Amino acid sequence: MSFIHRTVLLHEAVDALNIRADGIYVDGTFGRGGHSRLILSKLGPNGRLIAFDKDPYAIAEAQTIADPRFTIVHDGFASLAASLDALNVTAIDGVLLDLGVSSPQLDDGSRGFSFRFDAPLDMRMDTTRGITAADWLNSADEKDIAEVIRDYGEERFAKQVAAAIVAGRSERPLSTTGELAALVARAVRTREPGQDPATRTFQAVRIFVNRELEELALILPQALARLGTGGRLSVIAFHSLEDRIVKRFMQDQSKHDLPDRLPIRAADIPPPPLRVIGKPVRAQADEVAANPRARSAILRIAEKAAT
């Protein structure tokens, strides 16, 4: 089936790369190719774009792009360094990351990402490998389930939800999104207006199953190491957990961590590896009106300094 995907902050994120016609760029999250296609439109004949995605449906979409300047890698962006080595690419001019789950993944009930559909409880971005959400929830310790829901979902009723999951699976193994949502609804006593009780638990399990935060922490230093001088890092985050990782990385890499009162002249101190570019960018009102999922998006940009 075909599902509509509206690329969030499309022009802002690509413009942030400050694209050179002959440059080499990485789209770490191909999705349905919105950012990739715009990057390709700005490249000259000697430019190159390397895109990554875990999702087999995204890979199928990428394979419809018949462009010799374009390469798709069926893997998560945490494999950046190894994949670039395999492609004999030593340095790149920009990396774009559009984090989180995509609209087609949410809107395709069969993927198990959403509580809006009663479907197999899968939640894997890459359906060809890894453990499903159902497999993990049916086998994990109650304490581990509670920690994941608390840490990745910021759910204050995490202990109650974990206890409900363990009690429910003792009667019958969890197998569908509807079963999980029903268990959560009974355990979560109050919720913010307009938010389903299962929202935070589904987010937490999805992040854990796909190792989203771990992979984000892995890609950022790899991207910095591979960027050439003046190369740009353009990252769109959709919730506070991933944005916090991006923000801290950019802040840490854009300042010196030197002891006070060192007898060193300012002119002798090399610049920090990164320079933060501008303020964080958010979607404009017209984009949010057309695509409510853009409301929480935040774009951060940094540039590799001369070494």
Binding-site members for S-adenosyl-L-methionine are 33-35, 53, 77, 98, 105
d(CA 34, CA 98): 11
Residues 125-151: b if buried by 16+ CB within 10 A, e if exposed: bbbeebebbbbbbbebeeeebbbbbbe
- Tell the residue number behind the tokens 């919720």, with chain if given: 191
Distance set, CA 130 to CA 54, 87, 127, 174, 219 (Å): 11, 25, 8, 18, 19
Helices then strands, counting H and E runs in the chain, come out as: 13, 8
CB atoms within 10 A of CB 75: 16
Residues listed for the chain: 307
Closest CA to 12 of 43, 45, 34: 34
Instruction: Decide if 162 contacts 149 (C-beta within 8 A).
Output: yes
Instruction: Decide if 55 contacts 126 (C-beta within 8 A).
Output: yes
* Residue 232, C-beta contacts closer than 8 angstroms, at least 6 positions apart: 16, 17, 18, 93, 94, 95, 277, 301, 302, 303, 304
For helices 199-209 and 212-226, what crossing angle results, to 10°?
Answer: 50
Which residues contribute to the annotated binding site? Answer: 33-35, 53, 77, 98, 105
